[in-house]
Structure 1
């Protein structure tokens, strides 16, 4: 009787393929990582941290975000309390230019090098683009040289060119989830429309920030699919969000992602994208708590959003900065982001 062939250990493969050669894992390999038991989690996180240190270095990029236009969005993203289609408590509001300047100043004071202006829209109209332009000019007139990023929905080529001319160096537009799962999450636009915006942004020379939300009913296989689709895009930054079930949305009764699963996702994404900036974003406090945040920073993460999110409170920036100091992870200097 012939013995069954010995199964290859995915972490041993990842050590040679990702750590030694810098080649990200493929879809089945990512799924194998996501399928590892809790007993292998410390080993997985340690490897992901080694990969991050080897291919990205020890520095951490710190970012703050602010909502220029909140609520009233016409799209039906099922996770989002800013959709005008759901009976959520979030109402439409605009932030004025002095408020935007103040938010940018406060963000810079936290040692953040990135300030992202966000709007809840399908895509920017003339009013919104004018507001962004005036805001950036006012931030610069205030003597603030922090890097400006934007997240304004889907763009035309003309709008991409306008943002480049304004000095926006990074654009965030999340794919949100795997292509196969996207129609279950959003019906008012397609995954492909988002992809087209990201392609135009990259071709125009802006940095691409693109990630998604974990915990929206996707399967482990779809999480693996999503990881390799992001890797194919070659984004400069991938924000990893975990679903915060929002009142009034179709996902308000969804369960919060279990902490160990969240850490597995973080590590798997690092092994799929060894050279990419991987950022802790919304939901980490709810999913992981304080201890989990430290574990994530030692499990592949090398960027972090400090302070509050768009419609949810985060940890105080001082708490995250103290954590980074305790972990001896230097904050990336502004001069290194220019």
Structure 2
């Protein structure tokens, strides 16, 4: 029986007369058996009150430790091509369709090599090259190819990931040939909510790219942004859709309202709600790398990233996020030391 079938079976066979406590169910189903929660069960977790939050975070941490271990993967990202994107993702200041302050720019090869060097110097094992495009053209792929070659020739053996939009099969094969081991392409939100967020391409197009990436042997990285007007039901839907994709990694971003975008007036979700979401996604994805990404500083505030690291997260982006500043990388590294969470060694990612 597949994991998805087990989730469905567990939900269908639960007693109907008096609903069991969802955390007790999760302890047996997720912690003991490693079977992620169903959509209905994730929704029940998201409806838990603040008085249950500490118990929820503790259980999510137990699940992370049992099925993923104590190591944390640290990653740095850099924008090779910034701004001027033709797509209309309503959250993104890099869209050329909105009057945002971000303008189109390219990073040269020496700049890319230096960014990789600085990332490796933090102890990170992953370096992701990102471009604001619908999909890569010949110029962009050439720049990526030359950049990777220069990084290797500099003596840097850090793992290289890419996030270059939607791909064709030929482009997938090219990236494999360049030595790219992981590809990021976020589904962004639940399938039912996606048309409210993006109109210039479909959720299915993104899914197709991820399918080709997996079939080509690259690791799949796909997550999204929470706080874009989705309902709590759609958050549960999204968690389970990601579980069906079974990605190697899920980056969890929280909306940073960007000036000039359609979402500039949105209020960030609360820190407690963000932590509830982190824990719920861990219980839906017990074996998946769950990465703190953009918006955590704004959203968590005084609660601090430590709460999330003790609530199911086992990967983190250090430094800045494309068009937004993060906190200093050393601050995150010191946090991991204080929490006695070792950084995953490069040899463990090969």
TM-score interval (norm. to shorter): over 0.9
2:145 equivalent to 1:133: yes
Counterpart in the other structure of 1:156: 168
Q: Equivalents in 2 of 1:142, 1:132: separation in Å?
A: 15
Greater mean alpha carbon deviation, residues 282-291 or residues 186-195: 282-291
Q: Normalised by the size of structure 2, how large is the TM-score?
A: 0.95
Counterpart in the other structure of 1:184: 196
Query: Match for 1:171 among 179, 183, 207?
Result: 183
2:37 equivalent to 1:25: yes
Contact 2:90 2:198 in 1 (8 A): yes
SS in 1 for 2:128: strand
* Deviation (angstroms), 1:166: 0.1
Q: Equivalents in 2 of 1:258, 1:251: separation in Å?
A: 17
Counterpart in the other structure of 1:49: 61
Greater than 2 Å deviation, 4+ residue runs: 4-7, 289-292
2:260 equivalent to 1:256: no
Counterpart in the other structure of 1:217: 229
Q: State the Cα RMSD in Å.
A: 0.8
Q: Equivalents in 2 of 1:315, 1:93: separation in Å?
A: 23
Q: Equivalents in 2 of 1:23, 1:47: separation in Å?
A: 14
Counterpart in the other structure of 2:110: 98
Kindly tell me the number of residue pairs found equivalent between the two proteins.
Answer: 335
* Deviation (angstroms), 1:105: 0.1
Contact 2:271 2:303 in 1 (8 A): no
* Deviation (angstroms), 1:7: 2.6
Query: Match for 1:82 among 62, 77, 94?
Result: 94
Counterpart in the other structure of 2:27: 15
SS in 1 for 2:98: coil
Q: Equivalents in 1 of 2:277, 2:165: separation in Å?
A: 25
Counterpart in the other structure of 2:282: 270
Q: Equivalents in 1 of 2:306, 2:124: separation in Å?
A: 19
2:326 equivalent to 1:319: no
Superposed CA deviations along residues 18-44 of structure 1, whole A, max 9, x for unmatched, are 000000000000000000000000000
Q: Equivalents in 1 of 2:87, 2:237: separation in Å?
A: 24
Superposed CA deviations along residues 173-203 of structure 1, whole A, max 9, x for unmatched, are 0000000000000000000000000000000
Gaps of 5+ in 2: 1-15
* Deviation (angstroms), 1:290: 5.6
Counterpart in the other structure of 2:70: 58
SS in 1 for 2:241: helix
Q: Normalised by the size of structure 1, how large is the TM-score?
A: 0.98
2:249 equivalent to 1:237: yes
* Deviation (angstroms), 1:241: 0.0
2:299 equivalent to 1:287: yes
* Deviation (angstroms), 1:289: 2.4
